[in-house]
Amino acid sequence: MRKTVIAGNWKMNMTPSAARAFVEELKPLVAGKNGCDIVLCVPYVDIATAAEAAKGSCLHIGAENVHYEASGAYTGEVSSSMLLEAGAEYVIVGHSERRQYFGETDHTVNLRAKAALSAGMKVILCLGELLEARQAGITEEIVSMQTKLDLAGIAEEDLSRLIIAYEPVWAIGTGLTATPEQADEACGIIRRVVASLYSEKAASELTIQYGGSMNEKNAAELLAKENVDGGLIGGASLVPAKFATIVAAAD
């Protein structure tokens, strides 16, 4: 059986003191929700505070990106060992905002994923098509290509610590959500590519999330789809009550 994972991506929101208050407010709202794993991916400077506040609860903490080198002259970057020591267990790589605004490519996404996995982190790898691709009818080609390029060189045994988040770019922060059928179809395409690259077993065990304007109102119907094993949530993850409602839908 696949694990359902509900993850918040705070993006560039929340100071450390706000992060502490958020975690304190969220903890009782999700206590005992053991039907899914709950992750908060937070800005680097919030990791230590959030991890400390989350201690003893069912909340896991993650980062929003990671560099692929272990250390060195890479001003402004952060390594896996730094994230782990600060308290991050998970890390997002390949988010569309990194690809769009910061020149991230499938090659660098792949390097970051491999580095984080070999350091022992759990990776949430994001991919998804642009609106132009969907309108041109090439969603399957784009999503398949990204899956192949982003997973290149990753060993099957490491897939147990990898989650793929299907995030159609046109649905991120726009209020436009993929329909449950569109989300299911794209997650199913990714799963078939993983089966072809690895094995049916690896594909059937892989957690594939949907992300893009998932919220407390639409989560249940998206999560009910066979190929949708969780959510990566932006805006609605910034409000404890909304995020907890999504967790309850998954639980």
Residues contributing to the site for ligand 13P (CB under 6 A): 9, 95, 167, 172-173, 211-214, 232-236
Distance CA 79, CA 185 (A): 35
Q: What angle do CA 87, 93, 99 make, to 5 degrees?
A: 140
Please give the torsion angle defined by the CA atoms of residues 50, 109, 166 and 238, in that order, rounded to the nearest 10 degrees: 20
As measured in angstroms, the least distance from the Cβ of 58 to ligand 13P is 21
> Bridge partners of 60?
39
Residue 156 falls in the annotated catalytic set: no
Distance CA 7, CA 172 (A): 15
Beta-carbon count within 10 A of 127 CB: 28
Judging by beta carbons within 10 Å of its beta carbon (0-12, 13-18, 19+), is residue 172 exposed, middle or buried? buried
Question: Please, which residue, 97 or 106, has the CB nearer to ligand 13P?
Answer: 97
**Among residues 230, 227, 247, which one has the least CA distance to residue 239?**
247
As measured in angstroms, the least distance from the Cβ of 168 to ligand 13P is 10
Question: Please, which residue, 82 or 232, has the CB nearer to ligand 13P?
Answer: 232
Q: Are strands 122-127 and 162-166 parallel, antiparallel or unpaired?
A: parallel
Nearest residue to ligand 13P, by Cβ distance, number only: 234
Question: Please, which residue, 123 or 198, has the CB nearer to ligand 13P?
Answer: 123
Distance CA 204, CA 52 (A): 34
Beta-carbon count within 10 A of 133 CB: 18
Question: Please, which residue, 79 or 96, has the CB nearer to ligand 13P?
Answer: 96
Is the separation of the CB atoms in 86 and 46 below 8 Å?
Answer: no
Residue 60 falls in the annotated catalytic set: no
Question: Please, which residue, 91 or 233, has the CB nearer to ligand 13P?
Answer: 233
Terminal C-alpha separation, the chain: 14
As measured in angstroms, the least distance from the Cβ of 71 to ligand 13P is 28
Query: From the candidates 64, 97, 104, 167, which is the catalytic residue?
Result: 167
Query: From the candidates 60, 64, 95, 97, which is the catalytic residue?
Result: 95
Give the active site residues: 95, 167
